[in-house]
Amino acid sequence: MIIDFEQADAPGEFDGELCIIGAGAAGISIAAEFASTGHRVLLIESGGFEFEGTTQGLYDAEDSGIARQAMIRQRLRMFGGSTNHWDGRCAPLDPIDFEQRDWIPYSGWPITRAGLDPFYERAHTICDLKTTLQNSAVASLCRLPSSPADPDKMILNTWQFSPPTRFGSKFREQLVQSTNITVVLHANVINIETDQGDSHTEHLDIATLQGRKGRVRAKLFVLACGAIENPRLLLASSSKRKAGVGNSRDVVGRFFMEHLRTMFVAVPLRDSYPFRAAFSGCENSQGKFLIGSRLADKLQRNERIGNVSISSYTEGGEESATNAAFRIATSVSTGRMPENFGTDVLYVLRDLDSLIVNVRRRALMPDSETIENALVVLACEAEQVPNPNSRVSLSTHKDALGEPQARVNWQLDDIDLRTTRVAATTLAAQLAAHFDTRIHTPDWIMAPLNNWPSQFRDVAHHIGTTRMADDPAQGVVDKNCRMHAIDNLYVAGSSVFTTGGHANPTLTIVALALRLADHLKSQLPTAS
């Protein structure tokens, strides 16, 4: 059932067994798990089914740390959340990401990768991924040659692309038709009201941009608004405690993490086929894959650094030699004079090397994707280590609802620079030794500037602000994603990640949401 809270005839009070705040990847995944269970579920969403500028404006935030891409553009505040614009790149976190690594402060999840594996499997289905195969199995599927790189330094890493699944479109009908789920649109949660002891959530206050107010009661609540909004809402809910809900230890909002992107230009010197195969893509009946590398666990341990992946960032497009040659060949084979013949010939002549490589690759691997350009841009995405000084707090600026905006103070640590430095030198040495390929490394990585943190590019992967930890002094939620301090308030999304690894977060967000859904079912009395 759908209720638009903006409509005058909509009820002002809602009551359910489970209330999920936020209809993004995490919130919708949990709600869908409750479809047809008989449990009364409320899914509260700030936006509508379509993008609305005024609602999106509520995402405006203040930067007080390292400059970032505009926060207002990084997320989408509407039904389906940021899955309305994600590119679908999926990979699970690596087992080492879950380990307590003595060289990385605050590392170590209270759960293991093996424990999350069954949920990753289910998450693949939700994200419309056709196979759970990874790494060497994908390389075999794509008939890639084995990598000549030193396995103690750099190992194969694969990603799989979701179509990408737009969660709003995919699940809208199921949730609309569901008799036990109520989706409440245009309802902004402006306060989480807890009891006097700040140990139990009593209700939520909701409001529309037009000034309509209401209240939501439930047995259990799940906060699923992303790693900036989750702490913002907890911190702004200060009617009982000045520090906000469940924040007596001042951990809410801390440990804000990103993935740190650096670009390298790779220059193949001679036969670049092994290099191009190692950083390529492949599409077949099992799915669409990206092939790349990551730093080996052994190297991470020896060098005392975080996890890093490296993949091709090259785009082909209209001007690629292979695409131009294909256009010419198609025209000639159908007896037509090619359009823009001269321009296409120029495109071909300009990059004969990549055309030859692609022809060879097509001959060997007919279902492989084209790899373009003699120069290849490689993107290195590094884990940012947990840092309590990197945090989300409240700004003095107010949003259109009169609520304080988020202030994001993104900070990096020296180990973050070291991680990328080791990645750069390892990549350069491995490519030179085994792939006849050289890379150019930006100066600031090797001879750090005073402002080196601002050289990194953030990638809109917001992580860690209500992190999972056994110790309430180091995390906001326990291993079941329940807030340490509040007995009926749970958190879903990448804000609960203890550490960020290098992998794109959505698959893990969904896996953790499914795990939380199972737990929540066990906490509710059997539905009648």
Q: Which residues bind another protein (CB under 8 A)?
A: 150, 265, 267, 269-270, 425, 428-430, 432-434, 438-443, 446
For another protein, which is the closer residue by CB, 60 or 150?
A: 150
Smallest gap from residue 422 Cβ to another protein (A): 11
Query: Between residues 73 and 440, which has the closer beta carbon with respect to another protein?
Result: 440
DSSP notation for 11-33 = -SEEEEEEEEE--SHHHHHHHHH
- Which two tokens mark 514? 């499914």
In angstroms, give the least distance from the CB of 443 to another protein.
6
Shortest Å distance, C-beta 264 to another protein: 9
Whether residue 305 contacts residue 97, with contact meaning beta carbons closer than 8 Å, is answered with no
Q: How far apart are CA 142 and CA 468, in angstroms?
A: 37
* Sign of the four-CA dihedral 63, 68, 72, 76: negative
Q: Distances in Å between the alpha carbon of 32 and those of 72, 90, 92, 203, 377?
A: 28, 20, 21, 23, 39
For residues 311 and 159, the answer to whether their CB atoms sit within 8 Å is yes
* Stated length of the chain: 528
- In the complex with another protein, the residue whose CB is nearer, 143 or 298, is 298
CB of 271 to another protein, least distance (A): 12
Place of tokens 């638009």: 4
- In the complex, minimum distance from the CB of residue 441 to another protein, in angstroms, rounded to a whole number: 5
- Min dist CB 153 to another protein, Å, is 9
Q: Which is nearer to another protein, 8 or 447 (CB)?
A: 447
Closest separation between CB of residue 375 and another protein, Å? Answer: 8
Shorter beta-carbon distance to another protein: residue 397 or 440:
440
Angle 352-364/321-333 helices, nearest 10 degrees? 70
Please calculate the CA angle 518-523-526 and round it to the nearest 5 degrees.
90
Per-position DSSP letters for 130-191, written without gaps between them: S----HHHHHHHTTPPPP-S-TTTEEEEEEEE-S---HHHHHHHHHHH-SSEEEEES-EEEE
Other Cβ atoms closer than 10 A to 198: 18
Q: Which amino acid is at 193?
A: E
List the structure tokens of 520: 């929540």
Nearer to another protein, 152 or 470 (CB): 152
Q: Which is nearer to another protein, 376 or 385 (CB)?
A: 376
In angstroms, give the least distance from the CB of 350 to another protein.
16
Radius of gyration for the alpha carbons in the chain, expressed in angstroms and rounded: 24
Task: Pick the closer one to another protein by CB: 176 or 433.
Answer: 433
Whether residue 217 contacts residue 202, with contact meaning beta carbons closer than 8 Å, is answered with yes
* In the complex, least distance from residue 296 CB atom to another protein, rounded to whole angstroms: 14
* Dist. CA 78–CA 76, nearest whole Å: 6
Helix (H) or strand (E) holding 42: strand 41-44
Nearest residue (CB) to another protein, 345 versus 429: 429
Q: In the complex, what is the shortest distance from the CB of residue 273 to another protein, in angstroms, rounded to a whole number? A: 17
Nearer to another protein, 199 or 425 (CB): 425
H/E stretch holding 321 reads: helix 321-333
